[in-house]
Amino acid sequence: MDEVRMNSTTLGVFAWTELEREEGKYRFDWLDDVFELINSNGKRIILATPSAAPPAWMSRAYPEILRTGPDRVRRLHGNRVNFCWTSPVYREKVRSINEQLAKRYGHHPALMLWHVSNEYGGECFCELCAQAFREWLKARFEGNLEAMNQAHWTRFWSHRYTDWSQIDIPGNPYGETANQGLSLEFKRFTTDQIVAFYRAEVGALRKHNASVPVTTNLMGFYGGLDPWKLAPYLDVVGWDSYPQFRDQPIDVRGWAKAALTHDLTRSLGGGKPWLLMECSPSSSNWYPVMNLKPPGMHLFETLQAVAHGSDSVLYFQWRQSRGGQEKFHGAVVATGQDNTSRVFSDVSQTGSALDSLSAVAGSTTTSDVAILYDWDNAWAIDGACGPVQGNKRYFETILDQYVPFWEAGISVDVISQECEFGQYRLVLAPMLYLLRDGTAERMRQFVEGGGVLLTTYMTAWADEHDLTFAGGIFSPLAELFGIRVEELDALYPEQKPCVVLPRGSHFGVEGAFEVLGFAERIHVLDAEVVGSYGKFWYGEEPAITRRFVGKGEAIYVGARLGHDFNEPFLNSLAASLNLRRNYDAPTPAGVTVQRRVGRESEFLFLMNAADKQAHLAPPERPAVEILSGKPVSHGITLPPYGVAVLRLE
Ligand code: GAL
């Protein structure tokens, strides 16, 4: 561990059977030894609670703790994260083991953080959860069943409930799958149950020492939990990053996705430094293809997280196990290997880099741009029957809009509908189908106050209950954008209308851009037309509009367009707003730049995500490249996956 400069270690994730082999009989001797070993070597410990994998004796003795699937079949013991969120027995068992851990180690000098459970996720459909769901609904609608019926439009298909007890959890393949409002509520309920479960775990830990910080490892854009609801209860936010490359090893978009998720994590923590809680030093056994990381890629991957605000690089896992599901998963020390392995030296390289970057710790990032990705919205879009079946590509649309900023070295925050908009100059809110009460008004204030708001097709169709707006789609935003949206055309792949931006268009972008699947027919009430349809039966109807309102601007893109449009359009928008780019000289394709600002210094991370060497001119201010310790004089050459970290003087 010293050789790779490892200064902390996570212990005890999934260790329940080792801690409590029989009910109530705890054994801590082995963990005491590990604590002692780590502490005496001057390292710190992140101690996990074991709730992610209950022991077999518990499942046998208390079957109610096991999770039930949507088919209402109780799962058998095994796997992990296979427990019920509601079961009072499970909550009690978790409380007692957590209290035992807290009592024994809560004041240990080596303990620096609680790692609560592991990657909370999944839904439970058991009767205890169904009952809790009914209670949750009753509270949400203040006991007014008729209000719930109205909100979920239950007169349709005779779905009206006349008693709370009739409500079952939706999503059973043989049961209710056609009440979208109720399905949305179940997603929200599950998030609330997970948050309550987490808070109960933390309550037990805090009984013995409330000053040790707590967190849990999040999963980025994982759809089963709205992380904005959990984040306020985490002392530091973190996530587990395993960038995957499905079709090709060198996939710049794959790195963009990792970058976007790092930005989400930073934003969830209010911009403070966050933790990369897991990554693999090598390959991951669940990858479709267990491709090895070529030289430099591991350093790139870890420093990319640091560039986007992480103050740690933690691994899953230190030593590879010889058995079990993950025996082929990458590890710092693989079975039969020692400190001479390629992977070990990759990890040492990261360790040395982190050592030299110690001044970066604590520094933060501020962004002028925010992209809005909202979990309620994602659930509602997924659940909607239309305008196409299957993936409506909400996440991909977010990524499409992120990439041009990432490539241009412009920092981006990722926000939810409930975050403040006012601190940004530009907010991108594509496909915001579900518009909560008050959002339209907050958007108006943002634009009037000088913000630029961009939205797209499939926005403001439904309220928080998934009821379409009585005034028609987009009606809550019609006045702000000065347009009326009449209808959306979902296109077959061979139908290719285009959007034409004429020469001299407002954004300096011109040409014809192919529409990819979605086109809305809109009417201009009080806005400028930036682009119009061409080559299709819509004639030259407007497709892209802008409206100046107060000190700001509202931009509408009515059709799904590709990178050929997004890149020049968003770049030109960024230039017209004079948005801060992290690097003053031009950057070659594949090279991205992130900025972190500390109390005393400013750091620029220059990263080459491509498999070709790249050259950059030196920055305008004098700078030192920290990894090599050399001043930057003539320019910077980055090999494939090369990273340079500049401290500006
Ligand atoms: C994570 C999980 C770890 C390990 C890892 C393998 O999702 O938290 O326990 O399974 O994946 O990639």
AA letter at 335:
T
- Residue 290: both structure tokens together: 């267990």
Q: Is the pLDDT of residue 610 over 90?
A: no
What does the pLDDT average to over 9-32?
A: 98
**Pocket perturbation via mutation, ligand 1, pick of 326, 327, 328, 332 by most ligand atoms within 8 A of CB:** 326
What pLDDT does 596 receive? 98
What pLDDT does 173 receive? 84
What pLDDT does 248 receive? 64
pLDDT tens-digit readout, 510-561: 999 999 999 999 999 999 999 999 989 999 999 999 999 999 999 999 999 9
Residue closest by Cα to atom 5 of ligand 1:
316
Residue 280 CA: nearest ligand 1 atom is: 12
Distance 172 CA to ligand 1 centre (A): 28
In contact, 239 and 141? CB cutoff 8 Å: no
Q: Is 520 a catalytic residue?
A: no
Average pLDDT score, the chain:
96
Residue closest by Cα to atom 10 of ligand 1:
326
What does the pLDDT average to over 481-487?
A: 98
**What one-character-per-residue DSSP string does 483-533 give?**
EEEEEEEE--TT---EEEE-TT-TTS--EEEEEEEEEEEEEESS-EEEEEE
Distance 212 CA to ligand 1 centre (A): 24
Q: Is the pLDDT of residue 433 over 70?
A: yes
What pLDDT does 249 receive? 61
Per-residue pLDDT band for 507 (boundaries 50, 70, 90) equals: confident
Could you identify the residue written with the tokens 């991909």?
396
What does the pLDDT average to over 257-284?
A: 97
What pLDDT does 278 receive? 98
Is residue 645 within a helix (H) or strand (E), and if so which, with residue range?
A: strand 643-648
Q: Is the pLDDT of residue 611 over 90?
A: no
Q: Say whether 386 sits in a helix, a strand or coil.
A: coil
Query: Closest Cα to residue 161, out of 142, 182, 175, 177?
Result: 182
Q: Is the pLDDT of residue 426 over 70?
A: yes
Residue closest by Cα to atom 3 of ligand 1:
316
pLDDT tens-digit readout, 217-257: 999 999 999 999 999 999 999 999 999 876 666 678 889 99
Could you identify the residue written with the tokens 């975050």?
419
Q: Which of 123, 185, 201, 278 is catalytic?
A: 278
Residues 398-408 as b or e (16 or more Cβ within 10 Å = b): bbbbbbbbbbb
pTM here is 0.98
What pLDDT does 506 receive? 79
Q: Is the pLDDT of residue 416 over 90?
A: yes
Q: Is 119 a catalytic residue?
A: yes
| Dist. CA 219–CA 217, nearest whole Å | 7
Residues near ligand 1 with C-beta < 6 Å? 118-119, 240, 242, 278, 284, 316, 326, 329
Q: Is the pLDDT of residue 113 over 70?
A: yes
What does the pLDDT average to over 56-66?
A: 98
pLDDT tens-digit readout, 558-606: 999 999 999 999 999 999 999 999 999 889 999 999 999 999 999 999 9
Residue 14 CA: nearest ligand 1 atom is: 9
